Amino acid sequence: MAASFTLFSQTEMSVFTATGRAASTTFVEDYQAVGINPANLGWKWRHGNKHVAVGLLEGSYSVSSDAINRSDIRERLLNTNFSFTEAEKETAGRQFADAGAMAHVDLMLFGAAVTSEKLGGFAFQLRDRMQVSSRFGPLTAELAFVGFRSDYFNLLVLVTGDTIPNYQNLSPDSIALIALGIAAQPQLLSKVLDGSHLRASWYREFNFSYGRHLVRNDDLEVDFGIGLKYLLGIGIVDISSRDGKATGFMAITPSLGFDPESGERRADAPSIGSSIASPTPAGTGFGVDIGMAMIIGKKWKIGASVCNLGSITWTGNVYTAGDGSLLDMASNGLENYDIINGLEDFVTNTGFLKWESGKRTKRPLPSSARFGVGLLAGERIEVGAEVVAPLNQEPGNLERAAFGIGGDIRPVPWIQLSTGISAGGGYAMKVPVGLTFIVGGGTWEAGFASRDVVTFFTQRNPTLSLSMGFLRFRI
């Protein structure tokens, strides 16, 4: 359903020092270990004379597609002024048949950690995670981009009240008068949407984590960690057709003033800026992260964790949609590749589904498991590999398992270079790169990374991304 376009569950979230190496389980420490492996909070930091770490506004975004090329992402998807012609709509519908795109935005607003030899490590993070993931089946792609001009609809109702046949070479003047498409032989949504899904989520997370060593000597260190999180659910959309059944669930913050009946914002709704800064939650929930870590001979690292165990109860602006027949459609399709602003074709009653006000609903969090192995090759080189696997198909989770291998090299004490190879999770194989500057023996760190450097040299399966942080301090 909307281009597989994920504000997508990235395996290292907003950790700019990890994005460039494709692996993080055995690398991250202090507050950057929150949400990845809380057991790492029990480690002695690489900069051993530092005991407090603070970070502000570390974040990342990513946009990826197997349906369009790099130029299309830059010139058409990210250009909101671009609009399709009728012919380009038809072309886009063919491009997105059995294909899609992904994206995510992940912003750590504040993070802090303190470590003690006796007590272990304590950390806190406040972060926003916004994600969208979807994929088109062939008929869904056609309907999404062409709308009521699809061959699926036999008749067209004009704003004048007249009804005319739907045929290929309608004049632009006639197309401008169309108000509704009607199917003489409507099909069940489970067939129309077969092979399609649209999943979106926006959470604000408050995470308190703790880790401590259970065993520590020259030969072996074993650490255990736990993270407890409180979540504000700002919005969720989950639409899919599978096993011969189409279903839809949606809950969106009242702050956005969004009306699924009309697809319009209420006139009295707060401004978009204030809605994003301090939205009223549509749900609340609790989650748990659990992790273990080992350091063998002060060289080999092993880490494992299970994150986001828990649930969230959606109580505000809850709507559900069930299977039924697609008889008519009032949408003329997406005007460009901007899937986010085109969501009304899916989450309002002018589009595919007929939404009804629902009851409070409890849903699992997007849980995942991860395992990593790493090697410290002296003071300047560290390498590692990991696998991250989704434990459910909740919005915000990986579509499938992701793999990564990579490392860091510090040719001089004040520069860290990172690279690796990643695959899975809904992405094609990528080669990330990262650069981190280290000042004052770790007192200040700043850097940036890209999820895929190959994107800059090829057009196919592009991933445009940036992860950065400039306000990371240790004392």
Nearest residue to 216 via CA among 113, 291, 294, 116 = 294
> What is the pLDDT, as a whole number, of residue 27?
94
d(CA 230, CA 379): 38
Stretch 112-130: mean pLDDT: 94
The CATH number of 16-152+187-474 is 2.40.160
Count other Cβ atoms within 10 Å, centred on residue 375. Answer: 14
Residue 341 — very low, low, confident or very high, per pLDDT cuts 50/70/90?
low
Residue with the bigger pLDDT between 10 and 107: it is 107
Q: Which long-range contacts (CB under 8 A, 24 or more apart) does 82-90 make?
A: 82/336, 82/337, 83/335, 83/336, 84/145, 84/334, 84/335, 84/336, 86/149, 86/175, 89/145, 89/146, 89/149, 89/333, 89/334, 90/145, 90/146
Residue in the structure block whose two tokens are 């009653």: 349
Spatial neighbors of 105 by CB under 8 A, at least 6 apart, are 7, 59, 60, 61, 128, 129, 130, 131
Residue count (the chain): 475
Residue 132, beta-bridge partner list: 103, 200
402-412 and 356-357 strand pairing: unpaired
Among 3-12, 341-350, 461-470, which stretch is predicted with the lowest mean pLDDT? Answer: 3-12
157, two tokens: 């109702």
Stretch 94-100: mean pLDDT: 80
Residue 367 — very low, low, confident or very high, per pLDDT cuts 50/70/90?
very high
pLDDT of 192 > 50? The answer is yes
Residue in the structure block whose two tokens are 């407890």: 228
d(CA 314, CA 238): 13
pLDDT of 219 > 60? The answer is yes
Residue with the bigger pLDDT between 427 and 41: it is 41
> What is the pLDDT, as a whole number, of residue 6?
35
Q: CA 158 → CA 163, 179, 455, distances in Å?
A: 6, 5, 45
Stretch 313-326: mean pLDDT: 79
> What is the pLDDT, as a whole number, of residue 340?
58
Phi/psi at 91 (5° precision): -65, -45
324, two tokens: 């039924």
Helix (H, G, I), strand (E, B) or coil at 280: coil
Count other Cβ atoms within 10 Å, centred on residue 392. Answer: 12
Nearest residue to 105 via CA among 239, 220, 226, 13 = 13
Angle at 393 between CA 73 and CA 400, to 5 degrees: 60
Residue in the structure block whose two tokens are 């004009």: 158
> What is the pLDDT, as a whole number, of residue 227?
97
Stretch 129-133: mean pLDDT: 84
Stretch 127-138: mean pLDDT: 85
H helix or E strand, kind and range, residue 205: strand 197-216
Phi/psi at 247 (5° precision): -140, 160
Share above pLDDT 90 across residues of the chain, in percent, rounded to a whole number: 41
**Burial zone of 324 (CB within 10 Å; 0-12 exposed, 13-18 middle, 19+ buried):** middle
Residues 452 and 441 sit within 8 Å (Cβ to Cβ) = no
Nearest residue to 8 via CA among 272, 198, 289 = 198
Nearest residue to 67 via CA among 331, 426, 346 = 426
Residue in the structure block whose two tokens are 């460039």: 20
pLDDT of 427 > 70? The answer is no
Task: Name the range with the highest mean pLDDT among 187-191, 273-277, 319-323, 468-472.
Answer: 468-472
Residue 401 — very low, low, confident or very high, per pLDDT cuts 50/70/90?
very high
Residue 239, beta-bridge partner list: 198, 248
> What is the pLDDT, as a whole number, of residue 389?
94
Helix (H, G, I), strand (E, B) or coil at 234: strand
Residue 90 — very low, low, confident or very high, per pLDDT cuts 50/70/90?
confident
Q: Where are the domains of the chain?
A: 16-152+187-474
Helix (H, G, I), strand (E, B) or coil at 72: helix
> What is the pLDDT, as a whole number, of residue 2?
36
Residue 8 — very low, low, confident or very high, per pLDDT cuts 50/70/90?
very low
Residue 465 — very low, low, confident or very high, per pLDDT cuts 50/70/90?
confident
H helix or E strand, kind and range, residue 398: none
